[in-house]
Amino acid sequence: MGEFELIQRYFAAAPCAQGGDGVVGGIGDDCALLALPPGEQLAVSTDTLVAGVHFPSVCDPFLLGQRALAVAASDLAAMGAMPMAFTLALTLDQADAAWLEAFASGLQHMAAACALALVGGDTTRGPLSLTLTVFGRVPVAQALTRAGARVGDLLCVGGALGDAAGALPLVLGQREAAAEIAAPLLARYWSPMPQLALGQALRGQATAALDISDGLLADCGHIAKASHVALQVEAQRIPQSAALRALAGQEGALSCALSGGDDYRLLFTLPPERLSGIQADWPDVRVIGQVVAGHGVHLLDAAGQAIDVPQRGYQHF
C-alpha cells in the first residue's frame, strides 16, 4: 500500500480529520492552516513515544492511539489552553491494515474526547514511534506557566498520583492482579484523560502549573526552579488510589506517586483564598504542600520532618 492510500484510508477519512474550530486547511496540502481569534495566542507542544521505551513494542494499537494523543494533549491542559488541532508523525516498520485501523480508532476516540482535529503529519517506515504535536489557543498573557509560584501559595494536584507507574508491571506482563485492581490502574496508564477543563478553569487562578509526566518530585523541581521558590511536599497528603495501594502496598504506592511519572494530572500553585472556589467544581483537587522561600523540593513526613527523596524522576539518558 502506498503512503498516500494509507493516510487516506486510515487517517484522512477519520471524523477528527474533517476539520474543527480554527482549522482552515487540514490534511492534503504541504501545510495545515490554522486561524486564531483576535486576542489569542497559539500554544504548541510536541511529544514522542518510542516502542520499547515509552510503551511495550507489542501492545493494543487502539490503546496506543488513545494514549499517544492523551499524553500530548495534557501539555495543553498544563497551559490552560483550549484544544484545537494536532499533527501525527507515525513511523511504522510495516503497514498492517488491522493494526492501523485499530490505532486510528483509538486516536479518533481520544481526539473526540479532547475536541482535537487531525490536520496533518507524516507517515514513514522505520522502528515504531509516534510524534504528536498539539495546538491550542489561549488568551494573550493568560497562559499558565511554571514561573509564577509565590511564597504562601498552596501546592495542589488534580487527582490521585502513581496509578500509571503502578500499572507498569501489569502493562509489561510482569505481574497479574485481580480485575478490580488491574482495571482502574491500566485505564490510567492507557487512557489518562488530559485535565483540559481544569487547566482552563485555572487561568487567572493558579500562579504556576504543569502536567506531571516525569514524576511528582521531578516536576515540582521544574516549578521551583522556574519560579525561584522552594516547594514543600507533605507525603501523607499525596492522594493515591485504593487500587494502587492494594497492588503496591503503602510504601510502593508512595514511591509510584512521588517518582513514577506518566500521571498527566495537573500540578499547580494557588493562593489559599482561591482553593474553595476551585474545589467546589473540581472535588478531586488536593492540597499536597506549599510554596516557601528558598530553592528545591522538600519532602516532609506527617510530623513535618524532612524525608530523603527516594529517587529522581525518569531520565532518558
Q: Which residues bind its own copies (CB under 8 A)?
A: 1-3, 6, 24-25, 28-36, 38, 41-54, 75-76, 78-79, 81, 87-89, 91-92, 94-95, 119-127, 129, 131, 133, 135-136, 138, 140, 143, 145-147, 210-211, 226, 315-317
Contact (CB, 8 A) for 191 and 110: yes
What distance in Å separates the CA atoms of residue 45 and residue 80, rounded to the nearest whole number? 13
We find the least distance from the C-beta atom of residue 145 to its own copies, in angstroms, to be 5
What distance in Å separates the CA atoms of residue 113 and residue 103, rounded to the nearest whole number? 16
133 versus 255: smaller Cβ distance to its own copies: 133
Cα dist. 233→100, 147, 289, 297 in Å?
43, 18, 4, 7
We find the least distance from the C-beta atom of residue 141 to its own copies, in angstroms, to be 9
Q: Where are the alpha helices (DSSP H) in 38-149?
A: 61-79, 97-114
Angle subtended by helix axes 242-259 and 216-227, to nearest 10: 40
We find the least distance from the C-beta atom of residue 156 to its own copies, in angstroms, to be 16
We find the least distance from the C-beta atom of residue 289 to its own copies, in angstroms, to be 20
140 versus 303: smaller Cβ distance to its own copies: 140
85 versus 254: smaller Cβ distance to its own copies: 85
What distance in Å separates the CA atoms of residue 134 and residue 86, rounded to the nearest whole number? 4
Cα dist. 316→50, 55, 132 in Å?
11, 14, 18
We find the least distance from the C-beta atom of residue 2 to its own copies, in angstroms, to be 5
What distance in Å separates the CA atoms of residue 68 and residue 172, rounded to the nearest whole number? 17
We find the least distance from the C-beta atom of residue 314 to its own copies, in angstroms, to be 9
Contact (CB, 8 A) for 291 and 229: yes
What distance in Å separates the CA atoms of residue 112 and residue 86, rounded to the nearest whole number? 12
Report the DSSP beta bridge partners of residue 269. 155, 208
Contacts of 263 (CB under 8 A, 6+ apart): 161, 162, 163, 164, 165, 192, 211, 212, 213, 215, 216
We find the least distance from the C-beta atom of residue 215 to its own copies, in angstroms, to be 13
247 versus 266: smaller Cβ distance to its own copies: 266
We find the least distance from the C-beta atom of residue 126 to its own copies, in angstroms, to be 3
38 versus 283: smaller Cβ distance to its own copies: 38
Which of the 8 DSSP states describes residue 55?
A: B
19 versus 252: smaller Cβ distance to its own copies: 19
We find the least distance from the C-beta atom of residue 45 to its own copies, in angstroms, to be 4
53 versus 178: smaller Cβ distance to its own copies: 53
What distance in Å separates the CA atoms of residue 17 and residue 24, rounded to the nearest whole number? 12
Query: Residue 19, SS3?
Result: coil
What is 247-258 written as a DSSP string?
Answer: HHHHHHHHHHHH
121 versus 184: smaller Cβ distance to its own copies: 121
243 versus 267: smaller Cβ distance to its own copies: 267
